[in-house]
Amino acid sequence: MRALAWLAACGMALLALAGQARAEQQDIRLGRYESRTIVTGTDLRSRPTGFAACLADVLVKVSGDPTATDDPRLPAVAGQPAAFVADFDYWDRMSGISHHDEQGSSDRPYNLTVRFVPARVDAALRALGRQPWPDPRPVLVPLIHVTAASGVFDITREEPRAAGMRAALAESGEKYGMALRIPPPPLPDAAALPPGEAAVVGSLVLSEAAHGWVGTWHLDWQGRGYDWGLSGVNFDEAFRQAVRGAMQIVSGHGLPR
């Protein structure tokens, strides 16, 4: 338990710093047909892998269907990601930090932002038996209670301990093309949200037994309740799963994985 308490204390102390660090990184919002990933250098060594990762993200984001990338037809349909690319650019994640003797310029980490040709992405989805998911999309409202050895709190706009988590939720929303609204305190009743909003009710618990965070999520949609979750991950992955699962439900693509 001491190890967990120490981990939690260190982790929670870094949450605010994490939020600040994320805010200082490239702050350019992505469109529906754009994606961003981290690569090493700006040459061709990692560019094809980066293109492939970004195209997979866009196929999911545009369709609202996380299972699109599991389709066995995908290699035949989108096996040449560069053919879908309209343009791309790099941003040095270590901008402002001088190069040093142990690091060549090609080894620096970069954000690779890729913009794809919408018509080609749409055609690929149709070839996979899917369609672009049109607007309007529901706004997701995370109503999440966090339990850690250092304390308990709700993820709200004003909670300082949730700074890094708010940033992680925002990144998850951008990854999946879902708008998120972080509520002010206190957390509202899920049933009281206005039309056009969907509440993702959940808890995030730091667990020594699970060697990480345990996330449990619930969403009521069109008269039916859905529950899903995962364990033993960092909170970034927990939030990605929460947003991905909610997207899959509200877009009509079945149960979360």
pTM assigned to the model: 0.85
Torsion angle of the four alpha carbons 117, 123, 128, 129, in this order, in degrees rounded to the nearest 10: 130
Average pLDDT of the residues in 2-10: 43
Structure confidence at residue 21 (pLDDT)? 43
Q: Are strands 139-148 and 197-207 parallel, antiparallel or unpaired?
A: parallel
Structure confidence at residue 4 (pLDDT)? 45
* Distance separating alpha carbons of residues 226 and 156, to the nearest angstrom: 23
pLDDT-above-90 percentage for the chain:
80
Structure confidence at residue 120 (pLDDT)? 98
Average pLDDT of the residues in 52-76: 97
Enter the DSSP assignment of 222: T
* Distance separating alpha carbons of residues 168 and 237, to the nearest angstrom: 9
Residue type at 73 in one-letter notation: R
Question: Could you report the per-residue pLDDT of 100-147, keeping only the tens digit for each?
Answer: 545 554 578 999 999 999 999 999 999 999 999 999 999 999 999 999
Structure confidence at residue 107 (pLDDT)? 74
Question: What would you report as the CA-atom Rg of the chain, rounded to the nearest whole angstrom?
Answer: 19
129: helix, coil or strand?
coil
Place 15 in a pLDDT band, splitting at 50, 70 and 90.
Answer: very low
Backbone region of residue 252 per phi and psi (left: phi > 0; alpha: psi in -120 to 50; beta: other values):
left
Mean pLDDT of the chain: 88
Q: In the predicted model, is pLDDT for residue 149 greater than 80?
A: no
Contact criterion met (CB below 8 Å) for 185 and 159: yes
Question: Could you report the per-residue pLDDT of 203-235, keeping only the tens digit for each?
Answer: 999 999 999 999 999 999 999 999 999 999 999
Average pLDDT of the residues in 30-35: 95
Q: Among all chains, which residue has been given the structure tokens 């996979």?
A: 128
For residue 217, the surrounding DSSP H or E stretch is strand 212-221
Question: Could you report the per-residue pLDDT of 160-202, keeping only the tens digit for each?
Answer: 999 999 999 999 999 999 999 999 999 999 999 999 999 999 9
Q: Is 196 exposed, middle or buried (0-12, 13-18, 19+ CB in 10 A)?
A: exposed
Sheet-wide strand order for 224-233? 151-154, 139-148, 197-207, 212-221, 224-233
